[in-house]
C-alpha cells in the first residue's frame, strides 16, 4: 500500500484540504496522512469548504509531523514554503518529495463572504494540484 504525507505549518487548512482531495481521487490501496510542523486543529472553514463539494473531512485530526517519523512514506507533499523548509528527514524509506506553495486562506481578512471566497479559491487551486499529482504519480 502506498503512503502519502501532506505537510503544512499548522495542519488546519491547506494540508487538510489536500488530504481530503487525495482521499477522494485515489483508490483504496493509497493511505493518506496529513500533519503540521505545529497542530492548530482542523479549521471549521476548511471542513465547510470541502463539504460544499461533497468531501467530508470532519473526522480528520490535526497532527504533528513527529507522530509519523516511523512511517515509510512513498510521497511527501508540502503545501507551504514553511513546511518545505522545516520538513524533517524521514529515516524510513525514500519518499519522493513534491512541493507547491498555497496561500493560507485562514489569514484572509474581511467580511464573512470575502473569507469564504478565499477558502474556495485555495480549495480549487489545491484540487487542481491533487488531480495532477494523482494523474502523474498514482495511475499507472
Q: One of 65, 77, 80, 130 is an active-site residue; which one?
A: 80
In the chain, what is the greatest distance between 2 CA atoms, to the nearest angstrom?
45
- Separation between Cα atoms, residue 105 and residue 127, nearest integer Å: 14
Q: Which cell numbers hold the place of 127?
A: 484540487
130 is catalytic: no
Query: How far apart are the C-alpha atoms of 27 and 96, rounded to whole Å?
Result: 19
Catalytic residue among 76, 77, 87, 126: 87
Full DSSP string of 77-137: EE-SHHHHHHPPP-SSS-PEEEE-----GGG--SSHHHHHHHHHHHHHHHHHHHHHHHHHH
User: Which one from 5, 7, 8, 13 is the annotated catalytic residue?
Assistant: 8
What backbone phi and psi angles, to 5 degrees, belong to 40?
Answer: -100, 0
Active site residues: 8, 80, 87
Amino acid at each position: 500500500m502506498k503512503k502519502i504525507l501532506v505537510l503544512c505549518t499548522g495542519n488546519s487548512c491547506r494540508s487538510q484540504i489536500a488530504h481530503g482531495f487525495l482521499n477522494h481521487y485515489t483508490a483504496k490501496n493509497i493511505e493518506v496522512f496529513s500533519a503540521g510542523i505545529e497542530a492548530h486543529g482542523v479549521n471549521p472553514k476548511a471542513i465547510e469548504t470541502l463539504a460544499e463539494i461533497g468531501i467530508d473531512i470532519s473526522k480528520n485530526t490535526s497532527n504533528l509531523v513527529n507522530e509519523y517519523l516511523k512511517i515509510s512514506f512513498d510521497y511527501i507533499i508540502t503545501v507551504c514554503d514553511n513546511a518545505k523548509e522545516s520538513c524533517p528527514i524521514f529515516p524510513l524509506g525514500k519518499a519522493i518529495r513534491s512541493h507547491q506553495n498555497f496561500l493560507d486562506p485562514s489569514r484572509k481578512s474581511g467580511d464573512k463572504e470575502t473569507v469564504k471566497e478565499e477558502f474556495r479559491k485555495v480549495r480549487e487551486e489545491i484540487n487542481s494540484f491533487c488531480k495532477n499529482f494523482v494523474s502523474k504519480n498514482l495511475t499507472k
